[in-house]
Each structure stands twice: as C-alpha cells, then as structure tokens.
Chains A and B, each alone.
Chain A
Amino acid sequence: MIVFSNYLKILKQYTAFVVLYVVIFTIFSIIFTIYSNDNPTFAVQKPNIAIINNEDTKLVKSFLDYIKTTSNIVEMDSEDLKDALFYRKVDLILTFPPNFTNDFLNNDNPEINIQRVPDSSRSIYAIMYLNRYLNIASLYNSNNVTMDKLIEYIELDLKLETNIVFNNKNTTLLSSANYFYNFSSYSILAISVSVIGMMMSSFKLKTIQRRNMISPMSYSKQNNSLFLGNLLVTMGVWLLFTILGICFFRQAIFSANGVLFMINSLVFSITASSMGFFIGNVINNKEAISSIVNVVALGSSFICGAFVPQEILGESVLKIAKFFPTYWFVKGNNEIVILSKLSLDKMEPICINIIMTLLFALLFFMLNKIILKFRLKEN
C-alpha cells in the first residue's frame, strides 16, 4: 500500500493542475456543446431588387411595400442598372410594364419584366417572394373584388403565420449529449494522458525504479499499486464527465441511449488511461509529455470527429483517424444517438465500436508489458 499511498501523495501535488485542466475543459465542453446544440439555422438574406416603375397606383404601392419587407430596394439610375446586375450589386431588376394595374385588374396577365443574376439563390428567393404576392393577388382578383378589398385581402393573407411545435425534446437532448460526449473525448484523453503520464514519469524514473527494484517489494506488486492509482484517476475523470453529463442532460442520460453513452465513455476512459500509462513509460520528461498530450489529444480529436462531425471529414482523414481510439469512440456515440430501439441487430455497430476502443486499451496494455520487460532486461 505504500506505493499506492505515495501515488496519492504525488497526485495531490498535481491537484491544482488537474483542477485547472478540468475547469478549462469543462468550460470548453459546455461552450462547445451549447454552440453545437444550436439547430442548423440560417439568417434570411434579403435580395437586392431594383425596380423600374412609372405607376403610382394603390396596388403597385402595396406590392412595393410588400417587396420592402422581403427585399432591399436599391435606388439607382436606370442606365447603371445593367452594370449593377453584372457586378451583383443588385440580384434582380423588376420592370413594371406600362398600365400594369389596369391590365392586372382586368385579368389581362400583364408581364412583369425580370432581369436577374443567373444561378443566384438570392434572385430565386426574390422571384419566390414576388410570385407569392402575385399569386395571392391573382386568386382574389379572379373573384372580382375592388382594388381596395383586393389589397386588404392580400395584406391579411400575408400576415398569416403558422406556429409549428416540434415534439422532439428528448431527441434534441440526446443530440446535445452526443456533442458533449464527443467533445469530452478530448478532455478525457488530455487529462488522463497528462496526469497518468506525469505520475508514471515520476515512478518510472530510472533512478527511482532502480531503488524500488532492490527493495523487498516485488516488481509486480509495485506495478499493481500503480495500476490501482491509474484506475483511480481514470474513474475520477470518467465520473466527473458522467456527473457533468447528468447535470446537463439528465433526461437523455437516464435513458438506454444515455447508459450506452456512459459505457462507451467508460471504455474510452480506460483506453485513455492505458495510453497515459504507455506514454509515461516511454517518456520520462514531463515537459515532453505536455507536448505529446497536445499533439495526441488535440490532433486525434480534430481528425477523429470530436470537434467536427465525422460526416464532413474527408475520406483520407477518416482512414488515418481509424488508427486512433477517439475515432471509434466518436463513431460509437454517433451510433448511440440514432439508436431508437434496443435490439441485437441495432446494437451491433455500437458494440463493434466499443470493442474497437477496448482493443486499443488492450494494445497499449500489451505495449506496456513489452516495454516493462524490455526495461527490466535493459537494467
């Protein structure tokens, strides 16, 4: 127990460091989760419309008022309009034909001349807005109403709005939890590799190791104590992120998907811990460990889809990412979030990803064994 209690004493020295790491990563996790949680929305961009009109009727005025609500009306000399269209200062030039109001009210279908930027989405939107008004107007006009009534009906129609409520609160929460857990891979990896790596670099310092080896405590006993210490760090980090997950997404976490998130995260934490053990065994320099943490944790998180969805990453990037446990962890989370029913066939891809993550833990465990044997032989 002396090795374990010493582990705790040294760990205490890193408390400030761990707390700092945890606070920073927690803040980043929260910001990232909130940021990622925003549904994909877009702000409507008003198209720029130039209008050539010589009429001053109530109908044209109403039409122009409507256009003002949906688009930016650009005032310009008619000679400059074509240049403006070419240089995309305006998206569309609308030219009212002479006698437009009378022809419209008489159902003579007056043709509005439209010149627009080809393949411009904004000009297409502008046409949609114009058509909306003209279609409503045509509909009421066919029923022979007066111009005043026609304008009144059109304006009433345009004011109508429908409220749509999506009843998918849990799905949204799960999706947020997915973002949270994906991002947590960075934090878990960085904290575990840093702390365990530094702890190991203290214990595996050649001079300390030599002194430990001449003690009556067997090498395997010492390693078991270190393993226990590392397990404690791993569980601590995992528990921290689980508690954070519960705090933010209680409803989603206490569901089958949530439990799977936790299991996936636990397996990943174990892998991160074995990775830290490995790095600490290979590198005895604490500064070098910090640099490696940045490269491994940050680099793998970027290419494995912890920050950017895997769907938008390039094929070649994902091919490289497969050599990192983070890829399988994130992939597992992405599978968990779409799981609607617990069944063997639906669980299969999740299990495969979890097993893949676990295989990395096994790989690092084996590498550790080889290194320790090599070190013993070297000594």
Chain B
Amino acid sequence: MKNVIEVKKLNKKYKNLQAVQDLSFEVKEKEILGLLGPNGSGKTTTINCLLSLLNFDSGSINILGKEMTPDAYDIKSKIGVVFQDVAVFEELTVIENITYFCGLYIKDKKIRNRYVEEAIDLVGLNDFKDFYPKKLSGGLLRRLNIACGIAHKPSIIFLDEPTVAVDPQSRNNILEGIKKLNKEGATIIYTTHYMEEVEILCDRIIILDKGIIIASGTSKELKELTSIEEKVTIEIDDLKQEIIEEFKKLKNVENVSYDSKLLYITYKKGKDNLINLIEFMKTKKIKYNKFFSELPTLNDVFLELTGKELRD
C-alpha cells in the first residue's frame, strides 16, 4: 500500500523545549496508526505540524504526495480532524453544528444533508439532533465533536485524544465508529495515552516520549520488545515477609511486591512459570482467594523503555 503521509526529520522547538525531534514516519493508505505517548510527549504538536496549524523548524511533511502548507486547500479538503478540545458552536443544535462543519467542505446541499445524516447515525446521535451542546453529556458532546470532524467523509482522519473524559458507553461507540470509518476506506491517525485503545484499534503504533520515537510497530511487535513474559496477581489475606522473599527466588521472577492483600509477580521470558508458581504455593500451603495472569501491555513496554508509566 502507498504512503499517504510522509514525515521526514520533523523538528519543532518551543523556546527552550524541544517538542519534536527528528521525527520520521509514514502512514500507509487505509491503516490506523496510533501515536501513543504520555502527556507532553509531542503527539499534539506532531498533529498540529502535520495540519499546518504550527510552523515547524525543519523537516518535511507530505500528504497525499504533496507538500502540506497552510494554503494547501486541495489536501485540506481530504482531511478530517477531531481535536482534543470540543469545537462546536454553543448557539447551534447538533444537526446545525455538523451541517456547518460539513458545509466548509461540501457545497452541494443534498450531498451535505446526506453526509450529515450518516455522521449522526455513525456516532449514534439520532435522538439528540435538535439538542444544543449545553444539553449534552460529556460523552455525547465528544461524539458530536467527532461527527463534526468526519461528516464530510475525508480520506485521512486525525483523531487527537477523542476519548478523553468519556464514559465507557460513549468510548465504545467512538471506537466502533472509528473502525467503521476505517473499513469504509479512511486512513486514521489516532493519538492517545490510553494503551488499551491503540491495542484494540491500531494496525501500527508509534510510541513517543519527549518528542522522540522510542518504538514503533504492531502491538505484537512492540510487546516482543519487553523482557516480561507475564504478570501474575494473587489475592492472599496474609503473607509474611520471608515468604515474599521466597517468591523472589522462584525461577524467571523479575519483580515481587505485596500491597493491600495483593501479591504482584512479574515474570521474565521463560517456560512453566505458572506451573512452578502453583506448585510452590501448594508446598508452602499458601491459601489464596483469587489468581490472575496477564500478558505484558504496551505500558510495560513503555515502562521498560523509559523507566516511567504511560500515564505519568
């Protein structure tokens, strides 16, 4: 598949802060690319540079084979953007807002009206068409924000943390909508600091920290970068310190901690970790209530690469 976005050696500095440093990446047609990173990692700066909302110091940005500039209106007509902050008119109803933003791209009234209806349908705002934004809940407002950004059926969609402070129902609705847009042929650039979302949604992930790409690849490829095999959580009512120390001595154990009746064990790559653990607890006659095992997450990858959590 061809590249629809090509970014080469992008640099952006705010006074003394290097927001983005030598950033290079491509986005392939019809893929969902996730830009993952903690707050202040340079995700939004990158998006703003891509959209020509920010001047950058050096590097190049090509979208759909052409250089992106503030007056590249032919490129802009094929782009849809959903910003982190909700951008709607308080004085207009849901349908009027979507019609306005769609109208900036689509001149034909008939087509525009059809697109508006489809966007409303996609985000599930059919029952709220004539509501004013003030009457909508946070989640519904986010959905409206998305509808305003994608109603004109763009071929490239930038979504900058669209699910911040959204209830689970709305979040699912938004993620389903994004998948649908992608299925319909849209290329999506999705920025977030929620690792679960990129794992569900993205074909490829770029992890950013302090304006630098620290890792990129599919979710599976990224997880392979970590030395962790699995993480085990066991609910134990009472555990003595000497037993905890014995847990640490088990094969492949990297880290053990006990807090609020929960024992956390992190295993390095290796075989039969869980079998060994259960046998050890049987031998020591340790009674436990619950037992969970999970595979490493992108947060673990980030933790291992940077020494800090994604949500720090």
Interface residues, chain A, with chain B CB atoms under 8 Å away? 2-3, 5-6, 9-10, 13-14, 202, 205, 207-208, 210-218, 379
Contact check: which of B54, B91, B96, B149 meets A202 at CB < 8 Å?
Answer: B91
Query: What distance in Å separates the Cβ of B281 from its nearest Cβ neighbour in chain A?
Result: 55
Q: Interface-forming stretch among B69-77, B169-177, B250-258?
A: B69-77
A and B contact pairs by CB, cutoff 8 A, 28 listed: A2-B103, A2-B104, A9-B91, A9-B92, A9-B96, A202-B89, A202-B90, A207-B83, A207-B85, A207-B86, A207-B87, A208-B87, A208-B89, A210-B83, A211-B83, A211-B87, A213-B70, A214-B53, A214-B76, A214-B79, A215-B101, A215-B104, A216-B104, A216-B105, A217-B73, A217-B104, A218-B71, A379-B54
How many angstroms from the CA of A205 to the CA of B51 in the assembled complex?
A: 19
Residues of B within 8 A of A10 (CB): 89, 91-92
Whole-angstrom distance between the alpha carbons of A214 and B152 in the complex? 13
Q: Does B100 contact A (CB under 8 A)?
A: yes
> Considering only CB atoms, which chain B residue lies closest to A222 in the complex?
B104
Further 15 A-B residue pairs, CB within 8 A, beyond A216-B104, A217-B73, A217-B104: A2-B100, A2-B104, A6-B96, A6-B103, A14-B91, A207-B85, A207-B86, A208-B87, A208-B89, A211-B81, A211-B87, A211-B101, A211-B148, A212-B104, A214-B51
Query: Which 4 pairs from chain A and chain B are nearest by CB?
Result: A2-B103, A207-B87, A215-B104, A216-B77
A10 to B86, CA, bound (A): 18
Chain B residues, CB < 8 A from A9: 91-92, 96, 100
- Bound CA span A212–B70, Å: 12
Chain B residues positioned under 8 Å from A210 (CB to CB): 53, 83, 87
Give the distance to chain B from A6, nearest Cβ to Cβ, in Å: 5
Question: Please, which residues of chain A bring their CB within 8 A of the CB of B148?
Answer: 211
Interface residues of B in 10-50 (CB under 8 A from A): none
A213 touches B53 (CB 8 A): yes
B contact residues vs A (CB 8 Å cutoff): 51-54, 70-71, 73-74, 76-77, 79, 81, 83, 85-92, 96, 100-101, 103-105, 148-149
**A217 vs B149: C-alpha distance in the bound complex, in angstroms?**
15
A3 to B103, CA, bound (A): 9
Which residues in B have their C-beta under 8 angstroms from that of A217? 73, 104
Is B103 in contact with A13, judged by CB distance below 8 angstroms? Answer: no
Please measure, in the bound complex, the distance between the C-alpha atom of A207 and the C-alpha atom of B88, giving whole angstroms.
Answer: 8
| A221 CB to nearest B CB, Å | 10
Report yes or no: B100 in contact with A6, Cβ–Cβ below 8 A: yes
Query: Do the beta carbons of A218 and B104 come within 8 Å of each other?
Result: no
Residue of A nearest to B90 (CB): A202
Closest Cβ of chain B to A230, distance in Å, is: 16
Task: List the A side residues contacting B81 at CB < 8 Å.
Answer: 211, 214
Most buried by A among B83, B86, B91: B91
Residues of A within 8 A of B83 (CB): 207, 210-211
- Say yes or no: B91 contacts A216, CB within 8 Å: no
A214 to B68, CA, bound (A): 11
- Give the nearest-CB partner of A6 in chain B: B100
Chain B CB within 10 Å, residue with most, of A3, A6, A10, A14: A6
Give A162 to B90 CA distance when docked, in angstroms. 68
- A208 neighbours in B (Cβ, 8 Å): 87-89
Complex contact B73–A218 (CB within 8 A): yes
Residues of chain B lying within 8 A (CB to CB) of residue A6: 89, 92, 96, 100, 103
**For residue A5, which residues in chain B have a CB less than 8 angstroms away from its CB?**
103
Report Cα–Cα, A376/B197, bound state, in Å: 33
Chain B residues with CB below 8 A from A3, complex form: 104
Report the bound CA distance from A358 to B96 in whole Å: 37
Q: In the docked arrangement, what's the CA distance between A2 and B51, Å?
A: 22
Given the complex, which residues of A lie within 8 Å of B77, measured CB to CB? 216
For the complex formed, measure the closest distance between the CB of A369 and the CB atoms of chain B, giving whole angstroms.
Answer: 18
Closest B residue, CB atoms, query A208: B87
* Minimum Cβ distance to chain A for residue B245 (Å): 55
List the B side residues contacting A213 at CB < 8 Å.
53, 70
